[in-house]
Amino acid sequence: MKILTAAALAALVTVGAGQVHAAEGEAMPKYDWSFSGVFGRFDRAAMQRGLQVYREVCSACHGLKYVAFRNLEVLGYSEDEIKEMATEYSIGDGPNDEGDMFERPGRPSDYFPSPFPNDKAAAAANNGAAPPDLSLMAKARPGGPDYIRNLLLGYEDPPAGFEALEGLNYNLYFPGHQIAMAAPLSDGAVEFADGTEASTEQMATDLANFLMWTAEPNLERRHSLGVSVVLFLLVFTGILYAAKRKVWSDLH
């Protein structure tokens, strides 16, 4: 009885946890990310390509407001490269000594500027749906990086009889299957600096790598610290167990 109930409970809990976290709609194909798992680390080359696609395609509509240019050092860029990249952006600043607001070239300490001044303007320019900031996207949707990759690859012809509303696009993985964003990627949309072929799939995968980093920039530190902490605790707990056995030995 006891064992049966325990087994039933365990099953329920597992199923429950899975279901709470599962996305609605389409089953979500999973990709084997370099950053998943206990020893997982980011793929620098993929992140650099992802950044490039973001800068050349997505940044027209999506902000990345929690990421500063200085943060990009982790991706393997030098200080000069980052300075250079920052100056390509124009940043609103002020007021100056005359009391006027002004635009100036970006600095490494600046954050990626958002393409629209506010959500209303963003919605007005995009069929009424504001493109969300992408900084936290990889943590803000069930499935995270898998969802981003699938979403970008999920533009298909709608099944027979499916009428997408005016201005909306059919997407297999978007909840409700109608998304205001038109397919943003097409083969060869960018020319990768490292010579990798820019297939849609390649770009979607690289973007998901990059956006996982923007959402969880401390992932590598977390993993490596975690391994040390768990190893320490294993040894320490073993010693505590031995101590407990020793202390109790005169009782049994």
Partner 1 sequence: MSGLKTNNPVIRWIEYRLPIFSFIDHAVGSGYPTPRNLNYWWNFGSLAGLALVIMILTGIMLAMQYTAHVAFAFDSVERIMRDVNSGWLIRYIHMNGGSFFFIVVYIHLFRGLYYGSYKAPRELLWILGVVILLLMMATAFMGYVLPWGQMSFWGATVITNLFSAIPLIGESIVTWLWGGFAVANPTLNRFYALHYLLPFVIVGAVVLHIWALHRFGSNNPLGIEANGPQDKIPFHPYYTAKDAFGVGVFLLFFAAVVFFAPNFFGEPDNYIPANPLSTPAHIVPEWYFLPYYATLRAIPDKLLGVIAMFGSILILFVLPWIDRSPVRSAKFRPIYKQFFWIFLADCILLGYIGAKPPEGMFLIIGRIATAYYFLHFVIVFVLSYVERPRPLPSSIGEAVLKGGGAPAPAAAREKA
Q: Which residues bind partner 1 (CB under 8 A)?
A: 1-2, 5, 8-9, 12-13, 15-16, 19-20, 24, 38, 66, 71, 132, 135-136, 139-142, 144, 175, 215, 217-218, 221-223, 225-227, 229-230, 233-234, 236-237, 240-241, 243-244, 247-248, 251
Cβ-contact 45, 192 below 8 angstroms: no
In this complex, which beta carbon is closest to partner 1, that of residue 13 or of residue 164? Answer: 13
In the block, residue with structure tokens 């006027």: 100
In this complex, which beta carbon is closest to partner 1, that of residue 132 or of residue 158? Answer: 132
Question: Does 181 participate in binding ligand HEC (rule CB under 6 A)?
Answer: yes
Say if strands 102-105 and 178-179 run parallel, antiparallel, or are unpaired: unpaired
Closest by Cα among 83, 87, 35, 16 to 205 = 35
Return the one option of partner 1, ligand HEC, none that residue 234 interacts with (CB less than 5 to 8 A, by type).
Answer: partner 1
> What is the chain's length?
252
DSSP per position, 104-121: EE--TTSBPPPSSSSHHH
Within 61-149, strands assigned E span: 90-93, 102-105
CB atoms within 10 A of CB 173: 25
Point out the residue whose Cβ comes nearest to ligand HEC: 58
In this complex, which beta carbon is closest to partner 1, that of residue 134 or of residue 185? Answer: 134
Residue 58 to residue 152: CA distance in whole angstroms: 11
In this complex, which beta carbon is closest to partner 1, that of residue 44 or of residue 223? Answer: 223
Q: Shortest gap between Cβ of 129 and ligand HEC (angstroms)?
A: 4
Question: Does 141 participate in binding ligand HEC (rule CB under 6 A)?
Answer: yes
In the block, residue with structure tokens 């089953």: 27
User: Phi first, then psi: what are they for 181, rounded to 5°?
Assistant: -85, 125
In this complex, which beta carbon is closest to partner 1, that of residue 102 or of residue 236? Answer: 236
User: Phi first, then psi: what are they for 95, rounded to 5°?
Assistant: -75, 150
Residue 92 to residue 87: CA distance in whole angstroms: 13
Return the one option of partner 1, ligand HEC, none that residue 172 interacts with (CB less than 5 to 8 A, by type).
Answer: none
Q: Shortest gap between Cβ of 56 and ligand HEC (angstroms)?
A: 9
In this complex, which beta carbon is closest to ligand HEC, that of residue 91 or of residue 183? Answer: 183
Residues that bind ligand HEC (CB under 6 A): 53, 57-58, 60-62, 126, 129, 131-132, 137, 141, 148, 151-152, 174, 179-181, 184-185, 207
